[in-house]
Amino acid sequence: MTEQIHARPDISYGQYLGLDQLLSAQNPRSPEHDELLFIIIHQASELWLKLSIHELSAARSHIAQDDLGPAFKMIARVSRIQAQLIQSWDVLATMTPSDYALIRPHLGQSSGFQSHQYRMLEFLMGAKDPEMLRVHEGTPAHAALLTELAAPSLYDECVRLLARRGSPIAPEILARDLTKPHVAHASVTAAWSEVYRDPEAFWDLYDLAEKLVDLEFRFQQWRFAHLKTVERIIGFQRGTGGSSGATYLARALSNSFFPELFQVRTGL
């Protein structure tokens, strides 16, 4: 019997990756040398954000189904993605205030504050704030953000998992308004404390908790690096698009996605 040989798909590296579209998407609006750097850093960051949303959305679904193994890998992957995003600020910081001053007039009202993917990632991780939807009104992303605002966050699903495993989570936490940020609650702190006091008995929950801590740690490092890069380049000026610039970024650093996981450390 003659073995049939299946022809490989007729597709090149460039076609598979859509390189014609990708590499033609950088369109500087000024003749300044550093504008290409500015564009590429932000475009690359948006690609990493897209992958982060893809991974954490899937991780949330797995946790909701009590299937923690795949979720561990996905959350850990996003932590590594955050390391890439942190490094991107190091590259952007090679732009001096004088360099940026030459391209800033060409940015118009565009601002990273308008990144719907960044907002989607924050909502997914639990930093809910309906006020943040205003800037996206009238855009194609608004409906998706509105849906995510009302959905259980990654952490909400983790708290529900604790309840399914027998932890006495307060009913008001399980039935809370999902459009608002999670606020630390003693019943959730107590549940995580039980996990941390006996890791061997609750190994998968312990592993999940540490994956979440690592995720927040990396995310906050990214926020901090963003803040310091902004301070280095524009100081305390208002950002493009009307944002408060460094002031807004500094305020965000004080907000924890998973507050009880850090409270637990104090009580152990």
Per DSSP, the three-state class of 156 is: helix
Would you say 42 is a known binding-site residue? yes
Instruction: Round the CA-based radius of gyration of the chain to a whole number and report it.
Output: 22
- Report the distance separating Cα 165 and Cα 194, nearest Å: 12
Would you say 53 is a known binding-site residue? no
Would you say 116 is a known binding-site residue? no
Would you say 229 is a known binding-site residue? no
Place of tokens 């952007």: 92
Phi-psi group of 137: left, alpha or beta (phi > 0 → left; psi -120 to 50 → alpha; rest → beta):
beta
Would you say 41 is a known binding-site residue? yes
Contact of 75 with 212, CB cutoff 8 Å: yes
Would you say 63 is a known binding-site residue? no
Per DSSP, the three-state class of 129 is: coil
Would you say 240 is a known binding-site residue? yes
DSSP per residue over 60-103, as a string?
A: HHHHHTT-HHHHHHHHHHHHHHHHHHHHHHHHHTTS-HHHHHHH
Contact of 239 with 111, CB cutoff 8 Å: yes
Would you say 226 is a known binding-site residue? yes
- C-alpha torsion 33→34→36→38, nearest 10: -170
233 phi/psi in degrees, rounded to 5: -95, -45
- C-alpha torsion 125→131→132→137, nearest 10: 130
To which H or E segment does residue 215 belong?
helix 203-234
Instruction: For residue 126, give both structure tokens.
Output: 């639990």
Would you say 104 is a known binding-site residue? yes
- Going by the annotation, the residues of the binding site for substrate are 38-42, 100, 104, 240
- Going by the annotation, the residues of the binding site are 38-42, 100, 104, 226, 240
- Going by the annotation, the residues of the binding site for heme are 226
